[in-house]
Structure formats: structure tokens, C-alpha cells
């Protein structure tokens, strides 16, 4: 994609155990020559099976958690700065999508980092429970916060979503929720719809 043609820059954060290269393939439905899709990878790789054949990546673990969060926020800020040196920020819309574990990563990055997003999409997950909305509200308020939840996704409970929605209303943070028929996965039709708005 020629940089003058780019109108949207997407940063897409994969889920636990996924690799960026495979995750990126799911966004081919958005490739119209006007969107640049950037798929960073979690900083920790590991074997996902006992045979040590399949490798996955993770954004963080419980070990030295705060340092890992700080590391990935710095990493994503540096990547954002690098990408937007080539694409003038005022000329593009920045979409940040986090899937599953990547949703917590995306939310923390936009809340605590220097990057700004025109739209923050948290797919198959909610905001991390430890995210202080009193501190994060300004950046979340400006980021067109969107939750995407599959109707059969057992990872997102209706009661948790309702509780979070009440907290967002209390903090006057606008949001929208999009649902689709399906489980814990990306949906190409919903992706296209989000990209068009």
C-alpha cells in the first residue's frame, strides 16, 4: 500500500498462544489498499504443546506482571511512533483492536501509553479489572470504545459485561457493544462493518 493511499492504520493485538503472523491473516478481509494492518507480537514466546512443536506468544504472565505491562506499553508506543512517522497522524484514523488477552494489552496501552486511537476495539474480552477508569477515562473517552462479543463466547459473561457497562456510565465513558452469532473468534463480517464506520 502506498503511504499516500492509507486512510486507516490498524494495530491488532493477538490473543494468548497466537502468533502475529497467523493472526494477521484474519485481517485480509480488510485489505482494500487503504488500510495498513500492523500486527505486533507479544514479547514472550513459549511451546504451546508438550511435544514442543507449536510455538505461541503471550503479552504477559503473572510473573513480574507490572514490568511486563510496562515493557509492552513501551514497545507498542515505539512501534506506533515508527509507523506514524511514515503516515501523518492527522491524515489517518488509528484503530486499535485487541483480541482476548490482546484486549487487555490494547486497553492498557491506550490508557497508559502515549499513543492515541480513534477507535479502540476490545474483542472477546472486557477492560482489565485493574484498569483505573478515573485515570484512564480521558483517553478512553476519546477512543470510541467498542466491545465485540460472540453470543456463544463463554469467556465473556453477561453479568461481567453489565457490571462494566455500569462503571463506564458512572465515569461518563461512551462505548458501544457489538454482538454476533459465534464464539471466541473474529468474525469477518463484523470486522468489515467496524472498518467502514
Lowest mean pLDDT among 37-41, 62-66, 181-185: 62-66
pTM: predicted TM-score of the whole model, two decimal places: 0.93
Q: What is the C-alpha separation between 11 and 117, in angstroms, rounded?
A: 9
What is the number of residues in the chain? 197
* Residue 101 pLDDT: 94
Assign 65 a pLDDT band (cuts: 50, 70, 90). Answer: confident
pLDDT at 166 over 80: yes
> Is-contact 150 180, C-beta < 8 A?
yes
User: 176: pLDDT confidence band, cut at 50, 70 and 90?
Assistant: very high
In order of their start, the domains of the chain are: 8-195 (3.40.50.1820)
Kindly tell me if the per-residue pLDDT of 64 is higher than 70. Answer: yes
Separation of alpha carbons 193 and 134, rounded Å = 31
Distance, in Å, from the CA atom of 32 to the CA atom of 49, rounded to the nearest integer, reads: 36
Q: Above 70 in pLDDT, residue 3?
A: no
Residue-level pLDDT at 1 = 46
- pLDDT of 97-152, one tens digit each? 999 999 999 999 999 999 999 999 999 999 999 999 989 989 999 999 999 999 99
Amino acid at each position: 500500500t502506498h503511504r499516500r493511499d492509507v486512510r486507516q492504520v490498524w494495530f491488532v493485538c493477538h490473543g494468548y498462544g497466537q502468533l502475529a503472523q497467523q493472526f494477521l491473516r484474519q485481517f485480509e478481509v480488510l485489505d482494500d489498499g487503504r488500510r495498513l494492518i500492523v500486527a505486533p507480537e507479544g514479547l514472550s514466546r513459549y511451546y504451546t504443546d508438550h511435544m514442543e512443536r507449536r510455538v505461541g506468544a503471550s503479552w504477559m504472565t503473572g510473573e513480574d506482571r507490572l514490568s511486563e505491562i510496562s515493557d509492552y506499553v513501551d514497545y507498542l508506543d515505539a512501534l506506533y511512533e515508527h509507523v506514524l512517522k511514515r503516515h501523518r497522524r492527522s491524515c489517518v484514523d488509528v484503530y486499535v483492536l485487541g483480541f482476548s488477552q490482546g484486549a487487555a494489552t490494547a486497553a492498557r496501552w491506550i490508557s497508559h501509553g502515549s499513543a492515541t486511537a480513534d477507535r479502540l476495539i476490545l474483542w472477546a474480552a472486557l477492560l482489565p479489572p485493574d484498569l483505573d477508569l478515573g485515570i484512564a477515562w480521558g483517553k478512553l473517552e476519546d477512543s470510541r470504545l467498542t466491545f465485540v462479543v460472540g453470543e456463544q463466547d463463554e469467556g465473556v459473561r453477561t453479568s461481567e459485561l453489565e457490571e462494566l457497562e455500569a462503571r463506564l456510565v458512572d465515569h461518563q465513558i461512551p462505548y458501544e457493544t457489538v454482538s454476533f452469532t459465534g464464539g471466541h473468534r473474529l468474525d469477518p463480517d463484523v470486522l468489515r462493518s467496524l472498518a467502514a464506520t
